[in-house]
Amino acid sequence: MLPEYFAGRIGEVMKIQSALNQTRHGNTQHILLTGERGIGKTSLAIYARYIAQTPNPVLKSDFKYATAYYTVERDQSLVDVCRGLTSKLLSSVEQGLAKACLEKLKHLKLHFSINVPGIAEIKVDPDKSVEVKARLYADFEKAIEEAWDHIKGEYNGILLIVDELHNLKTFEGAGSFFKVVSEAWAVDGYRNAMLAAIGLPNVPADISKDDPSAPRIFSYVELKRMTTQECLDILHKCIAQSGKRIDENAARKIATLSGGFPYFLHQLGYDAFDKDRDDIITEEDVHIGLRSSLVQFERMFFGEIYKSIEGKQKQKIVDALAVAYANPKTALELGKALRIQNVHQYLKPLEKDGIVDRVKSRYRLSSELLSVYVQARTSANADKSPFETVTKYPGDTMDLEPSPDPDAPQASGPVHPNDREESDDE
């Protein structure tokens, strides 16, 4: 795919290509790619892997990287990351090279296992688990160096991609891991190996808490939401060769509803296209397709988000903000309307989790689409709704002081200073 098809992402694509070029010539440049959920981080990372693997005459690149792409699952550790990256790297190269490398690695007595299907497996002595943390950095550093020594005749670099880094059980040791490993490669002369770490916007801060100097090893690529015009450009490029056309109001409706998130834009466009019957996509087609889109979004994103707050104080806040997307609320307004004292103890984690956005001194849900979904889910007839059933808070307690959220610390002492009336320009 040509980089211009990543509308609103051309600068980011070129930055990644530049990092690959620097590393390919021995001037290592690691990448830290961050952004909100659904913003296109994984798509861009997969594209980076694609252009790294094969010389591309269109991009005028001569990359031939050996690559590993590892997605961190919830509550995994750095041991899992080391195991996954090394196993996937050796699985991606020619079997003879992988086998030779594994034979050498067996003698290193690593503190993480390696499994290359169809070739061999290196297991770890469970009695040595206590030593893992102390030896992990050096073991991983040496494993990648050995891999490079065996494959450098066939490849001009190594790209190690760690996706969903925010899923780590703990970031204790994560910052020093990246720093120590990258510095060791540089000192030992292994400057053709680069790391690409991918995660939510909080990842740089979490890495920094472990080691304040660790983020400096990375070049930052931060994905922002696309503008309305960038969304419209994508829609018109997609529809150009389809034999259909799209009404401008319909295109703008899809672009606005997507909130600048590529995945939402693609799904809304697909379902509107699918529902159209006269080769002209109209606002009516968009509205008909929206229900199918919302069901898909529930499976992919919104369902998990809503389950995490269901039956709690946070659900009342989210439900209230869902019907007020165009009219964001202050914390004081929410607290009074919902009879929640110190509402900030709930708003702050909702904001951190990307469910709520703060606009100046007011709050709304992170996207209009999420607002539409919450309204559709909570108002639908349970027997006929395609959405999962809602665990609603007891209706007869709405006029009483709600019970505390078990996930949040209990408020005590004076009212939070931000619970005073807030002005729009505060």
* Per-residue pLDDT reduced to its tens digit, 71-116: 999 999 999 999 999 999 999 999 999 999 999 998 888 888 999 9
pLDDT reported for residue 300: 85
Q: Is the pLDDT of residue 133 over 70?
A: no
Q: Is the pLDDT of residue 29 over 90?
A: yes
pTM of the predicted structure, to 2 decimals: 0.79
Q: Residues near 212 by Cβ (< 8 Å), separated by ≥ 6?
A: 175
pLDDT reported for residue 3: 60
- CA separation for the pair 208, 176 (Å, rounded): 9
Percent above pLDDT 70 for the chain: 85
Q: Which segments of the chain belong to CATH 3.40.50.300?
A: 3-222
196 within 8 A of 220, measured Cβ to Cβ: no
* Per-residue pLDDT reduced to its tens digit, 334-347: 999 999 988 999 99
Instruction: Give the bridge partners for 356, in sequence order.
Output: 365
* Per-residue pLDDT reduced to its tens digit, 187-226: 999 999 999 999 999 999 999 999 999 999 999 999 999 9
pLDDT reported for residue 214: 94
- Which of the two residues, 177 and 5, has the higher pLDDT score? 177
Q: Which segments of the chain belong to CATH 1.10.8?
A: 228-305
pLDDT reported for residue 311: 83
- CA separation for the pair 227, 255 (Å, rounded): 9
Instruction: Return mean pLDDT, the chain.
Output: 86
Surface-to-core class of residue 303, CB atoms within 10 Å of its CB (0-12 exposed, 13-18 middle, 19+ buried)? middle
Q: Is the pLDDT of residue 273 over 60?
A: yes
Q: Which segments of the chain belong to CATH 1.10.10?
A: 322-419
Read off the pLDDT of each residue in 178-183 and give the average, rounded to a whole number.
95
SS3 (DSSP) at 178: helix
- Which tokens belong to 161? 């991609």
Looking at 55-59, 162-166, 395-399, 408-412, which range is the least confident one? 395-399
- CA separation for the pair 213, 317 (Å, rounded): 38
Superfamily of structural domain 3-222: P-loop containing nucleotide triphosphate hydrolases (3.40.50.300)
Amino acid identity, position 118 = G
Read off the pLDDT of each residue in 152-166 and give the average, rounded to a whole number.
96
Q: Is the pLDDT of residue 6 over 60?
A: yes
- CA separation for the pair 109, 139 (Å, rounded): 9
- CA separation for the pair 242, 20 (Å, rounded): 35
In CATH terms, the fold of domain 322-419 is Arc Repressor Mutant, subunit A (1.10.10)
Amino acid identity, position 226 = M
Q: What is the CATH number of domain 228-305?
A: 1.10.8
- CA separation for the pair 374, 298 (Å, rounded): 10
* Per-residue pLDDT reduced to its tens digit, 347-405: 999 988 889 999 889 999 999 999 999 998 887 655 566 777 655 554 433 333 334 44
pLDDT category of residue 4 using cuts at 50, 70 and 90: low
